[in-house]
Amino acid sequence: MKLSIVVPCFNEEQNIEDFYDEIVSVLLHLDVDFQLIFSDDGSSDLTLRKIKSLSEQDQRVQYISFSRNFGKESAMLAGLTYSDGDAVIIMDADLQHPPQLIKELLRGYNEGYGQVIAKRNRTGESVPRSLLSSLYYKMMNNAVDVTFHDGVGDFRLLSRPAVNALLSLSEYNRFSKGLFSWIGFDEKIVEYENVLRTNGESKWSFSKLLNYGIDGIISFNNKPLRLSIYLGLSITLIGLVYIIYSLVSILINGIEEPGYFTIISAILLFGGIQLIFMGVMGEYIGRIYYETKRRPHFIVQDTNIHHLSPEKEKVKQ
Ligand code: UDP
Ligand code: MG
């Protein structure tokens, strides 16, 4: 069998060589043919140069380099598009995804699973961040149609049919956690200890994470729109009850003090709620806008992979 390892890299000059050494030493003991595909996501440091020099020494090292930074989702997609192994493993370049786990992922593949998912625990992570994450997952699983597991990221093995299924989803807004779950296939979960990044910086800031979280909810269904209908209906109902109550009270007691408090609270409350749902609708419209442009997910500036099957050329469009 042939294994493809897809590695999205964005400014990882400090990690490329260590990563390569580890992968090679792990795969040496496993009897598999492999290709190592680095997806350089428009790095501005020496990442590409380091990858190229590895590829000159070792033919199994391949690369795709983007014309600018398109984001990790696009980098993963490019790697998957260009891969031709019977199974593909996606992993980060920063050694936070332990290469030793490859053996277990392959075991799952040999047992016949379509997706073998690596799940990390949260040791060493700050308490607020893990609390926030677990809360998010709880909320998320109520809000969307697919299931998300806490601690599960992009580190996983996909069988060729699963990769083809992913590639057939051509949407522009890719939220891969959702896509992985959407395609289905038999899944096996393999656990590992959380590893903290040793070199370079994480590209995630709090605001990026927040945006990613909102993407997760919005990309996956139209429940937020449905929620706005329910909320609108309930508020209208409450409003009606209040109006009838006031009317009756006016009929019985006559008009009292004009109610400044009631009016101002109603204006504030309704104003806020309307803005929130205008935002929600705007999000969906924005997404439709991007989808209709049908722009490519990434633009390749340089690569040493030249053979793509015609069907994949089509997916790449
Ligand atoms: N990455 C990428 N493009 C980006 C940001 C990140 O290809 O725009 C890569 C990065 O090089 C790394 C992986 O995605 O291999 C995960 O990034 P990071 O370590 O910053 O995320 P974290 O581990 O903190 O979730
Ligand atoms: Mg990382």
Q: Which atom of ligand 1 is nearest to the CA of 7?
A: 15
In a domain, 268, yes or no: yes
Summarize pLDDT for 191-211 with one digit per residue, the tens.
Answer: 888 777 777 777 777 788 788
Return d(Cα 51, Cα 64) in angstroms, integer.
Answer: 10
Return d(Cα 96, Cα 94) in angstroms, integer.
Answer: 5
**Percentage of residues in the chain with pLDDT exceeding 90?**
40
Ligand nearest to the CA of 15: 1
Alpha carbon of 9 to ligand 1 centroid (Å)? 7
Name the phi and psi angles at 87, rounded to 5.
-145, 150
Packing angle of the helix pair 160-168, 72-82 (nearest 10 deg): 120
Average pLDDT of every residue of the chain: 85
What is the separation, in whole angstroms, between the first and last Cα of the chain? Answer: 28
pLDDT higher than 60, residue 100: yes
Return d(Cα 302, Cα 89) in angstroms, integer.
Answer: 22
Ligand nearest to the CA of 72: 1
pLDDT the model gives residue 198? 74
Identify which has the larger pLDDT, 215 or 41: 41
In a domain, 87, yes or no: yes
In a domain, 247, yes or no: yes
C-beta of residue 253 within 8 angstroms of C-beta of residue 245: no
pLDDT higher than 90, residue 62: yes
pLDDT the model gives residue 186? 92
pLDDT higher than 70, residue 313: no
Residues contacting residue 120 through CB under 8 Å, at least 6 positions apart: 151, 152, 153, 155, 191, 192, 193, 194, 195
301 and 258 housed in the same domain = no
**Percentage of residues in the chain with pLDDT exceeding 70?**
96
pLDDT the model gives residue 56? 92
Which residue's entry shows tokens 């043919």? 33
pLDDT the model gives residue 6? 96
Q: Name the residue with the closest Cα to ligand 1, atom 3.
A: 72
How crowded is residue 133: how many other Cβ atoms within 10 Å of its Cβ?
Answer: 16
34 and 123 housed in the same domain = yes
Count of structural domains, the chain: 2
C-beta of residue 137 within 8 angstroms of C-beta of residue 186: no
Coil, helix or strand at residue 152:
strand
Q: What sign results for the dihedral spanned by CA atoms 94, 95, 99, 101?
A: negative
Summarize pLDDT for 127-180 with one digit per residue, the tens.
Answer: 887 888 788 888 877 777 777 777 788 999 999 999 999 999 988 888 888 889
> Six-digit token pair at 157?
């093995």
In a domain, 200, yes or no: yes
In a domain, 218, yes or no: no
Residue of 10, 89, 155 to test ligand 1 pocket, by largest number of atoms within 8 Å of CB:
10
Name the phi and psi angles at 32, rounded to 5.
-135, 150
138 and 252 housed in the same domain = no
Q: Name the residue with the closest Cα to ligand 1, atom 24.
A: 202
> Six-digit token pair at 48?
């590409």
Summarize pLDDT for 234-289 with one digit per residue, the tens.
Answer: 888 888 888 888 888 888 888 777 776 778 778 877 877 887 888 888 888 888 88
270 and 148 housed in the same domain = no
Reported confidence tier of residue 66, pLDDT bands at 50, 70, 90: very high
pTM, full prediction: 0.78
In a domain, 304, yes or no: yes
254 and 309 housed in the same domain = no
Ligand 1 contacts (CB < 6 A) are 8-10, 12, 41, 69, 71-72, 75, 92-94, 96, 197, 202-204
Exposed, middle or buried by CB within 10 Å (0-12, 13-18, 19+), for 36? buried
182 and 238 housed in the same domain = no
pLDDT the model gives residue 308? 65
pLDDT the model gives residue 159? 95
pLDDT the model gives residue 39? 96
Reported confidence tier of residue 109, pLDDT bands at 50, 70, 90: very high
Q: Which atom of ligand 1 is nearest to the CA of 71?
A: 8
pLDDT the model gives residue 166? 93
Cα radius of gyration (the chain): 25
Exposed, middle or buried by CB within 10 Å (0-12, 13-18, 19+), for 295? exposed
48 and 191 housed in the same domain = yes
Supply the CATH number for residue 78's domain.
3.90.550.10
When pLDDT is averaged across residues 7-13 and rounded to a whole number, the result is 93
Ligand nearest to the CA of 11: 1
Question: For residue 183, how many C-alpha atoms fall within 13 Å in the half-sphere facing its CB?
Answer: 22
17 and 166 housed in the same domain = yes
Domain encompassing residue 238? 223-293
In a domain, 215, yes or no: no
Alpha carbon of 197 to ligand 2 centroid (Å)? 6
In a domain, 76, yes or no: yes
287 and 308 housed in the same domain = no
152 and 241 housed in the same domain = no
120 and 195 housed in the same domain = yes
> Six-digit token pair at 250?
């006016």
Return d(Cα 275, Cα 85) in angstroms, integer.
Answer: 49
pLDDT the model gives residue 310? 47
pLDDT the model gives residue 317? 46
Return d(Cα 57, Cα 46) in angstroms, integer.
Answer: 17
Alpha carbon of 16 to ligand 2 centroid (Å)? 13
252 and 312 housed in the same domain = no
C-beta of residue 63 within 8 angstroms of C-beta of residue 48: yes
Q: What sign results for the dihedral spanned by CA atoms 126, 132, 133, 138?
A: positive
